Amino acid sequence: MKSEALVLGIETSCDETAIGIVRGRTLLANVIASSVDEHARFGGVVPEVASRAHLEAIIPALDRAIKEAKISFADLDALAVTAGPGLIGALLVGTSSATGLVLASGKPIYAVNHLAAHVSVDALTHDAPLRPTIALLVSGGHSSLLKINDITGNIEKLGQTLDDAAGEAFDKIARLLELGFPGGPAIDALAKSGKKDAIDFPRGLTHAKDSEKHLFDFSFSGLKTAVARYIEATPTAKKSDVAASFQEAVVDVLISKALLACTQSGIDSLVIAGGVAANSRLREVAAERAAKSGVELRIPAPLLCTDNGAMVAALGSLMVSAGASASTIDFSADSAMSVLEVAR
């Protein structure tokens, strides 16, 4: 068991080719090569385009990370790579590269879960170890509420999205508002000049009748439909008001359910992770409401919220420190890997 393990992480689950290197809880390098501009004209990520971009970017990103960290590959204690969930073609570029490096070097490897890695990046932004906590995981394709007993191997799912994830809803509404792709940052920016209470958009699964079966679940399809109908019926509506009101509805639901999970479980710690955690309004509301509720709030820096290699390396380092067994070389990528499976 090594407390300051030097680990290189490889992340290729979607459109970012990312390599991160950490020593214990210290970030040494975080290189990200994004292909988002190549996908923008299609209005979303194209799997084949993403896979080809990963192939072109992974070796240069690896070389740059090693250089930035001022280490040699031989210095590494282990490698970590995202095994899932994600786009299968994109995942295979990362996992194949990682296994090739392992075969050549003999280093141990940890094939980890992309979603658990998002939560694990907390280790790089807070000195105190992550105690049992509630985690609100909100990214492009995932919206989940989790109870984290031990991030290296004991996670309970409390709730998840039943349809669109929050990030998907942002992208779809941005498309309706003709803001381009990705939608999250565009709506966040536009909403700053709008009125968040201009339009009373619905909050899905927040009524009393929903509490029995869907207390901690999310649904954003109804909100998406309501916004689309409003735009169609009100062509003179200010886009900034629509963006701000939509964003407020999403944020309200996410934070309300996360803090309710803290209350119900008796846990006074909340981690918010994933790409949507970079949203400025989400961070503002979370800070205000968590403080009022007496809940410790932990959110990574915005750069570490979106997909990155640092989070993968962080989870790998935590697993080394915990004495977890390394993965076997014949592990497989899994596009639908459950968040309850931290590593394979």
Q: Which fold has domain 6-123+305-321?
A: Nucleotidyltransferase; domain 5 (3.30.420)
- pLDDT tens readout for residues 223-280: 999 999 999 999 999 999 999 999 999 999 999 999 999 999 999 999 999 999 999 9
| pLDDT tens track for 194-209 | 999 999 999 999 999 9
In the predicted structure, residue 294 carries a pLDDT above the cut 60: yes
pLDDT at 43: 82
pLDDT in the model for residue 106: 97
Report the half-sphere exposure of 159 (CA within 13 A, side-chain side). Answer: 28
Average pLDDT for 109-135: 95
Q: What is the mean pLDDT of the chain?
A: 96
> Is the model's pLDDT at 139 over the cut of 90?
no
Q: What is the pLDDT of residue 37?
A: 79
Position 3 pLDDT exceeds 80: no
Contact 227, 212 (CB under 8 A): no
Residue 140 has pLDDT above 80, yes or no: no
Instruction: Note whether 6-123+305-321 and 132-299 share their fold.
Output: yes
What is the pTM assigned to this prediction? 0.95
Q: What is the pLDDT of residues 33-71, one digit of tens each?
A: 998 878 887 888 898 999 999 999 999 999 999 999 999
Query: What are the extents of the domains in the chain?
Result: 6-123+305-321, 132-299
pLDDT (0 to 100) of residue 84: 97
Q: Could you tell me the CATH superfamily of domain 132-299?
A: ATPase, nucleotide binding domain (3.30.420.40)
Bridge partners, 161 (sequence order): 218
Backbone angles phi and psi of 21, in degrees to 5: -135, 125
- Asked whether residue 102 carries a pLDDT value surpassing 60, the answer given is yes
| pLDDT tens-digit map of 79-92 | 999 999 999 999 99
Mean pLDDT throughout 11-25? 96
Instruction: Name the one residue in this structure whose structure tokens are 């941005």.
Output: 174
**Whether residue 1 has pLDDT greater than 60:** no
